[in-house]
């Protein structure tokens, strides 16, 4: 069964009968995990193993494990620093900053791969303009060239651990104060201004081989009448054609307030797919999952299937072996020194 275009969440640390049924629906292709799903490394590994056993090819399992305030798995995992700390280190010593970024990417990915997670939605490629509180220290830097340089090293580290990178939030969430979880942010800048700065890290990372991108629930009215995640202009004209992106496009959570302008849940799902998203996140709303599964028809899309299949994790790794590995212990020591 091919991977479908819906990535949903779970209520707790084990699968319910209803969730097990949902995960076998043909329009489902993945699961995103949150802190409520996590109790211990052993428990989360068992949950992911059960999810992976349900389908062939196995469902994608993802998590937000950026570091700082956005780290879903904590007890039993290394406390990762906010990504802005890597920017400070880079300012002090470029070579050391890049080395630590690579180490952070490898450590984050290695710990997740050791429990079966396929990928993390990281790194954040938004600019730290000092405007957005929801982005804030999740951003690597204010300078787009430096963001791209650090993010590249971070992605290299992730790749060495067998994990692809998923950059967010295209074309840039750093220029607005509003939090798209609670309202639709509006960025009044012209396209030229966004392209000259905010898009730079995305463009560079695409050339470096970025495998996935998540657009922002942000409206740029001087560019297009639809928020980026529902905009054919942003996703097809800019991201696919002008930037040449060939990887997977993930919607941000369709339950967020920033997505409400696209209509009810099935309408949001159809609009995001029509705009060019390959996979839709539906979180924190079990009723919405049921409506979307009832409202979407399975379709054969070989290009989408191929893009999603490339996101499966590589390099199977036993957690006990990782914890005993000298390279892991050194990397953990280095990262904890900046956390």
pLDDT on residue 26: 95
Task: Output the six-digit token pair for 226.
Answer: 């639809």
What is the C-alpha separation between 169 and 248, in angstroms, rounded?
A: 13
What is the C-alpha separation between 2 and 100, in angstroms, rounded?
A: 38
Rounded mean pLDDT, 205-231: 96
pLDDT on residue 257: 64
**Annotation says 207 is catalytic:** no
pLDDT on residue 260: 63
Domain ranges in the chain? 64-71+79-279+308-336
Between 28 and 253, the higher pLDDT residue:
28
Q: What is the pTM of this model?
A: 0.96
Q: Work out the percent of the chain whose per-residue pLDDT is above 90.
A: 85
Rounded mean pLDDT, 221-225: 97
pLDDT on residue 74: 97
pLDDT on residue 108: 98
Which residue among 252, 253, 278, 312 is the active-site one?
252
pLDDT on residue 322: 97
Q: Work out the percent of the chain whose per-residue pLDDT is above 70.
A: 97
- In terms of CATH architecture, what is 64-71+79-279+308-336? Alpha-Beta Barrel (3.20)
Rounded mean pLDDT, 48-62: 97
Confidence band, pLDDT 50/70/90 cuts, at residue 298: confident
Which residue among 181, 182, 207, 333 is the active-site one?
181
What is the C-alpha separation between 235 and 239, in angstroms, rounded?
A: 5
pLDDT on residue 267: 86
- What string of H, E and C letters represents the secondary structure of the chain? CCCCCEEECCCCCCCCHHHHHHHCCCCEEEEEECHHHCCCHHHHHHHHHHHHHCCCCCCEEEECEEECCEECCCCCCCCCCCCHHHHHHHHHCHHHHHHHHHHHHHHHHHHHHCCCCCEECCCECCCCCCCCCCCHHHCCCCCHHHHHHHHHHHHHHHHHCCCCCEEEEECCCCCCCCCCCCCCCECCCCHHHHHHCCCHHHHHHHHHCCCEEEECCCECCCCCCCCHHHCHHHHHHHHHHHCCCCCEEECCCCCCHHHHHHCCHHHHHHHHHHHCCCEEEECCCHHHHHHHHHHCCCCCCHHHHHHHHCCCCCCCCCHHHHHHCHHHHHHHHHHHCCC
**Annotation says 252 is catalytic:** yes
pLDDT, tens only, 226-245: 999 999 999 999 999 999 99
pLDDT on residue 109: 98
Between 214 and 256, the higher pLDDT residue:
214
Confidence band, pLDDT 50/70/90 cuts, at residue 262: low
Strand order in the sheet with 212-215: 166-170, 212-215, 248-249
Rounded mean pLDDT, 316-336: 96
pLDDT, tens only, 66-121: 999 999 999 999 999 999 999 999 999 999 999 999 999 999 999 999 999 999 99
C-alpha angle 307/244/28, rounded to 5°?
25
pLDDT, tens only, 160-196: 999 999 999 999 999 998 767 767 899 999 999 999 9
CB 193 within 8 A of CB 230: no
Round the average pLDDT of the chain to a whole number and report it: 95
pLDDT on residue 339: 65
Residue 126 has pLDDT above 70, yes or no: yes
């Amino acid at each position: 069964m091919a991977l479908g275009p819906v990535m949903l969440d779970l209520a707790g640390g084990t699968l319910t009968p209803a969730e097990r049924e949902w995960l076998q629906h043909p329009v489902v292709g993945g699961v995103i995990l949150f802190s409520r799903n996590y109790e211990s490394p052993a428990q989360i590994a068992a949950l992911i193993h059960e999810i992976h056993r349900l389908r062939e090819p196995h469902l994608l399992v993802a998590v937000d494990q950026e570091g700082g305030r956005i780290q879903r798995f904590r007890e039993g995992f290394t406390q990762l620093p906010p990504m802005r700390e890597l920017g400070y280190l880079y300012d002090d010593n470029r070579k050391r900053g890049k080395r630590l970024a690579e180490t952070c990417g490898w450590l984050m990915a290695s710990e997740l791969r050791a429990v079966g997670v396929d990928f993390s939605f990281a790194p954040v490629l938004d600019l730290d303009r000092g405007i957005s509180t929801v982005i804030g220290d999740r951003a690597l830097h204010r300078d787009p060239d430096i963001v791209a340089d650090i993010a590249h090293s971070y992605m290299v580290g992730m790749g060495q651990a067998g994990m692809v990178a998923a950059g967010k939030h295209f074309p840039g969430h750093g220029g607005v104060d509003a939090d798209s979880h609670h309202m639709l942010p509006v960025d009044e800048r012209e396209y030229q201004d966004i392209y000259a700065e905010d898009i730079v890290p995305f463009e560079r990372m695409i050339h470096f081989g970025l495998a996935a991108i998540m657009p922002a629930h942000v409206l740029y009215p001087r560019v297009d009448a639809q928020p980026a995640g529902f905009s054919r202009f942003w996703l097809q004209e800019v991201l696919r054609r002008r930037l040449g992106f060939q990887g997977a496009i993930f919607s941000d959570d369709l339950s967020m307030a920033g997505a409400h302008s696209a209509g009810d849940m099935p309408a949001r799902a159809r609009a995001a797919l029509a705009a060019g998203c390959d996979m839709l996140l539906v979180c924190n709303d079990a009723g919405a999952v049921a409506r979307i599964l009832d409202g979407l028809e399975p379709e054969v899309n070989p290009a989408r299937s191929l893009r999603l299949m490339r996101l499966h994790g590589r390099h199977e790794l036993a957690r006990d072996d990782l914890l005993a590995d000298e390279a892991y212990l050194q990397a953990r020591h280095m990262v904890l020194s900046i956390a």
